[in-house]
Structure 1
């Protein structure tokens, strides 16, 4: 019998996991997967628990929650030797990674993927000594995802991000950055933000980095040069259609490694969570983990 460790955020998805847990455990148990659970209690708890699960030799680790919970679990696994395959129950507000991977929203369908042992290799991003699975970024607008209180996200979902985004846009200001991407000439100037995508789903935008792939061994980088608020809002509307690449304010490139620094304090966003600050070295780790998903 296989052993699985299910790490879940009890507040994600309007506390949906509390209701689903007995049925999920029963379905896995009947299929020969003995599953134990851990409900996270605070920041860093999922990382510690995932690292412990790797150490204790579990055959499967499952993360249930939003992108933040997934990021913590990844950080507990990615630095270990021979981590087991990872399962993902998407229960958060945006679920960018799950959307990009085509992970079923129905828990029964996803349980069956795990039971069939249907996995695929995926790339993992690294920012200094931390890992990210979907997105990294910096600049004032990228701060909104980790500034929205978790309770507010639980109560009103995606609307919480829109509310915070409007507040951020009013005070949006450029940041001086130096960007050195492998294979490109160095860049220095004022930027509104930079994003590094590992998939094509970023903050609910599926056309922001449409060519990004989880298994191509590359990071897709989007940097927005200094512009006025009206121009930035126009860029956002263009991004909804995927037309932003034609704008002179947008820099787009693919690379395996990139260094970013700034004379000012710039906080990093990793999968929607606070991930340290610049300077930072970003790199891709090809086929670093296996995840339960359709091929």
Structure 2
């Protein structure tokens, strides 16, 4: 009989996994798996270690149950293995970007487990750095560094969304960073407020950041935001929310690449964000591992272009997004210098 191991975060989603674990195990048994479970602990890399152990022990399936962080840890546990088990996810976090991309139900953990009964899988690309793996995004620059100043309960994978939660007052602190980016089709060398690598089309609740992203084509979606002007950044956000029109704007570089080398051109620190958490400092190289992990997904609901629709929570978020843009557009011009950055005498110290 095939074996499955559920690795779950007992504190995610108001302990929803602990309350529904028996039902989830029953679903997996119906799917033909002899199933056991492991609750993660506060010990660093708890899920990483257990996923690696289960993979080496020959388990056929590992189910990652929790937020995107738990999924990331499980992937980091099995990605280095020569023989990797299949994976399934049960979202129990806040953003649940990966579940959104795979069209796994995000508000019912039992329904999420029942996706396995459909026996539909996709071989997913993942990203690799010098030391870690990531499942959704890698990013760097002041637009993403601001997320480290946002309280953890409000922090999301991508900087824009942190601003929506925290407020527009952070944006004037953005400044350009000189960097060199080497990608498949060329080299970008100059100032940028952010570079961003995406593996799916769902990032921090937005589904138009990389509107043509594919799950398994061996390519990252690379975005480089060249401007640090507050109002230009806000305009790019508005274009993004309006059908992903930002990708054609000259203030932004948008391309596909299987690899990216990032080299800072200044002594200033360039921190890297991997799946919403600090992942080290540049210089750093990112490689797309093509179709590296086979994931259960709701393929019936994933369109070819991998763009998903809006549910009720998304509509609420869209309202907040529009309010954010209105808030920034009303920033007093007196607080900004001629380049659209905060004036020297108005700057707040970095926390």
After TM superposition, the score normalised by the length of structure 2 is 0.76
99-108 vs 274-283, which deviates more? 99-108
Determine which of 135, 138, 144 is the counterpart of 1:136: 138
Residue 247 of structure 1: aligned partner: 249
Residues 150/19 of structure 1: CA separation in 2 closer, same or farther (3 Å cut): farther
| Other structure's SS at 1:54 match | helix
SS at match of 2:14: helix
Between the aligned partners of 2:205 and 2:175, the Cα distance in structure 1 is 23
Paired position in structure 2 for 1:233: 234
Give a deviation string over 1:103-145, Cα, whole Å, max 9, x none.
1233333323324433221111112221111111111232455
1:114-133 equivalence runs, <5 A: 114-133=116-135
Gaps of 5+ in 2: 156-160, 300-351
Of 107, 110, 117, 2:109 maps to 107
Query: For residues 119-178 of structure 1, what are the alpha-carbon distances to aligned partners after superposition, in whole Å with 9 as ceiling and x for unaligned?
Result: 22111111222111111111123245565555567xxxxx97733364532422221111
- Asked if the contact 1:120–1:291 (Cα under 8 Å) also holds between the matched residues in 2, the reply is yes
Aligned equivalents of 2:270 and 2:239: distance in 1?
26
Match of 2:97 in 1: 96
Task: Please give the alpha-carbon distance, in whole angstroms, between the structure 1 residues aligned to 2:180 and 2:37.
Answer: 44
Shift of the 144–9 alpha-carbon distance from structure 1 to 2, 3 Å rule, reads: farther
- 1:144–1:164 Cα contact (<8 Å) kept: no
* Residue aligned with 2:15, SS: helix
Secondary structure of the residue that 1:79 maps to in structure 2?
coil
Query: Match of 2:217?
Result: 216
CA separation of 1:167/1:40 partners in 2, compared to 1, >3 Å: closer, same or farther? farther
Query: Partner residue of 1:8?
Result: 8
Question: For 1:293, which of 294, 297, 304 is the aligned residue?
Answer: 297
The whole-number CA distance in structure 1 between the counterparts of 2:230 and 2:287 is 31
Verify: 1:77 aligned to 2:78, yes or no: yes
Q: How far 1:245 moved relative to its partner?
A: 2.1
Question: How far apart, in 2, do the equivalents of 1:160 and 1:228 lie?
Answer: 18
Asked if 1:17 is matched to 2:17, the reply is yes
Superposed displacement of residue 218, structure 1: 0.8
Q: 1:108 to 1:272 in 2, by over 3 A?
A: same
* Alpha-carbon distance in 2 for matches of 1:168, 1:41: 34
Please, what TM-score do these two structures have when normalized by structure 1?
0.90
Q: How many residues align?
A: 290
Aligned to 1:206: 207
CA contact (8 A) 2:101 2:202 kept: yes
How is 1:250-261 mapped onto 2 (pairs within 5 angstroms)? Answer: 250-261=252-263
| SS of equivalent residue, structure 2 residue 170 | helix
Secondary structure of 1:73's match?
Answer: helix
Contact 2:20 2:110 (8 Å CA) reproduced: no
For 1:284, the equivalent position in structure 2 comes to 288
Partners of 1:46 and 1:144 in 2: CA distance: 27
Residue matched to 1:156:
none
Q: CA deviation at 1:286?
A: 0.8
Structure 1 residues 72 and 167: alpha-carbon distance in aligned structure 2, compared to 1, 3 A threshold:
farther
1:197: which partner in 2? Answer: 198
Structure 1 CA distance for aligned equivalents of residues 149 and 15 of structure 2: 20
| CA deviation string 1:39-77 (max 9, x = no partner) | 222332111111111111111101111111111111111
Residue 231 of structure 1: CA displacement?
A: 1.5
Query: What RMSD over aligned residues (CA atoms) do the two structures have, in Å?
Result: 2.2
What is the match of residue 51 of structure 2?
50
Relative to structure 2, which stretch is displaced further, 3-12 or 81-90?
3-12
CA–CA distance in structure 1, aligned partners of residues 7 and 282 of structure 2: 30
Larger of the two Rg values belongs to structure: 2
> In structure 1, how many angstroms separate the alpha carbons of the residues matched to 2:150 and 2:6?
26
Counterpart-to-counterpart distance in 1, 2:148 and 2:67: 12
